[in-house]
């Protein structure tokens, strides 16, 4: 079985990242949610150029990108130790069941530890039991938290 190699993505990887984000959107939301590649790549490039909190890690098998982690480092965190927040973790369908997700998660843990971060946080949809089982198999602790969202396309938080 080919080895999975993970590395921090650079701006030169924007097209590969965009293709995986589109595959993720098609998988979870379908064609009515997934954006075309061009605006997706533009968003990736903008996030990387502006050095916002978004970072990307790519997993390769046989030299081809098959997995993606979108994450951010957040501080201060408990006792100023910070945390790594995973926004997306995705493996293409043909690479599932080949430990690509495990390798990505281990890479993220090593990356976080190297920066002195002491935890990884993430969320899943309540119905995504496959992802929940995956994270729990890796030793994740299910937290009793309430998740909130402000939909900024409405008049919420406008100051009016």
Distance CA 128, CA 138 (A): 16
- Residues 6 or more apart whose Cβ sits within 8 Å of residue 140: 122
Q: Show me where the domains of the chain are located.
A: 4-137
Kind of pairing between the strands at 55-61 and 120-122: unpaired
State the residue for tokens 């599932």: 96
CATH of domain 4-137: 3.40.630.30
Interatomic CA distance for residues 158 and 28, integer angstroms = 31
> How confident is the model at residue 138, as a pLDDT?
97
At residue 34, the 3 state secondary structure works out as: coil
pTM above 0.75, yes or no: yes
Among candidate residues 61, 51, 106, 66, the one with its CA nearest the CA of residue 84: 106
Average pLDDT along the chain, 160 residues, taken 10 residues at a time: 92 95 92 91 89 92 97 86 94 96 98 93 95 97 92 83
Q: What is the pLDDT of residue 81?
A: 85
pLDDT at 68: 98
Residues 6+ apart with CB under 8 A from 42: none
Q: How many helices (H) and strands (E) does the chain have?
A: 4, 5
Q: How much is the pLDDT for 22?
A: 95
């Amino acid at each position: 079985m080919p080895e999975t190699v993970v590395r921090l993505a650079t701006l030169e990887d924007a097209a590969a990242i965009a293709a995986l984000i589109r595959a993720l959107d098609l998988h979870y939301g379908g064609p009515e949610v997934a954006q075309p590649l061009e605006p997706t790549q533009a968003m990736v490039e903008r996030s990387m150029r502006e050095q916002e909190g978004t970072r990307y890690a790519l997993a390769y098998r046989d030299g081809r990108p098959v997995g993606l982690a979108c994450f951010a480092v957040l501080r201060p965190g408990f006792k100023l130790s910070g945390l790594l927040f995973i926004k997306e973790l995705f493996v293409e369908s043909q690479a599932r069941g080949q430990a690509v997700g495990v390798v990505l998660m281990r890479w993220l843990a090593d990356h976080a530890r190297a920066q002195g971060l002491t935890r990884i946080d993430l969320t899943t949809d309540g119905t995504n039991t496959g992802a929940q089982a995956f994270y729990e198999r890796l030793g994740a602790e299910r937290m009793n938290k309430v998740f909130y969202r402000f939909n900024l396309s409405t008049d919420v938080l406008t100051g009016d």
